[in-house]
């Protein structure tokens, strides 16, 4: 993939949001919904612990904000940039929002639904398929997660 300043800036923001989630004791995942021109329509970070909400994943919160900004649920001309491969719930929301492209950092070998464990985003049986670009700034995104979980293991 050619360097893309919009995607690079969006991934940098997603990583910063992941750090914010970790500071609140949530799994460090950040997400940004961005237009081709670089306009951020929505962003989110995991807030399950902060909100006591099992659906408060970074991707879902970013999609909700983007839909609110746009005034429609249909987000068919944006890119979702996220620091971790989306889970099945988030992949379903991405498909339902008609997001055409997802760019993510670290692969999730336990719960990923964008090509590792499942491939919901490109499932031909669904009414919408998503272009998936994984492994962007993978080492950096993975390090944020590793550090978070290592700190939990060391303190427990």
Q: Which residues does the annotation mark as catalytic?
A: 59
Measure the CA–CA gap between 12 and 136, rounded to whole angstroms. Answer: 11
Residues 6+ apart with CB under 8 A from 80: 31, 32, 33, 59, 62, 63, 94, 99, 101, 102, 103
52 burial level (CB within 10 Å; 0-12, 13-18, 19+) = exposed
Structural contact between residues 84 and 140, judged by C-beta atoms closer than 8 angstroms: no
């Amino acid at each position: 993939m050619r360097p893309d300043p919009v995607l690079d800036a969006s991934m940098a923001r997603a990583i910063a949001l992941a750090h914010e989630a970790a500071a609140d004791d949530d799994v460090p995942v950040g997400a940004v919904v961005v237009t081709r021109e670089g306009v951020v329509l929505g962003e989110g970070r995991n807030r399950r612990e902060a909100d006591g909400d099992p659906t408060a994943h970074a991707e879902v919160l970013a999609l909700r904000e983007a839909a609110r900004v746009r005034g429609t649920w249909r987000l068919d001309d944006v890119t979702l940039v996220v620091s971790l491969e989306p889970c099945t719930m988030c992949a379903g929301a991405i498909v339902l929002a008609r997001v055409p492209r997802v760019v993510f950092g670290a692969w999730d070998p336990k719960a990923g639904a964008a090509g590792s464990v499942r491939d919901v985003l490109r499932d031909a049986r669904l009414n919408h398929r998503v272009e998936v670009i994984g492994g962007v700034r993978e080492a950096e995104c993975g390090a944020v997660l590793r550090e978070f979980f290592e700190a939990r293991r060391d303190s427990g």
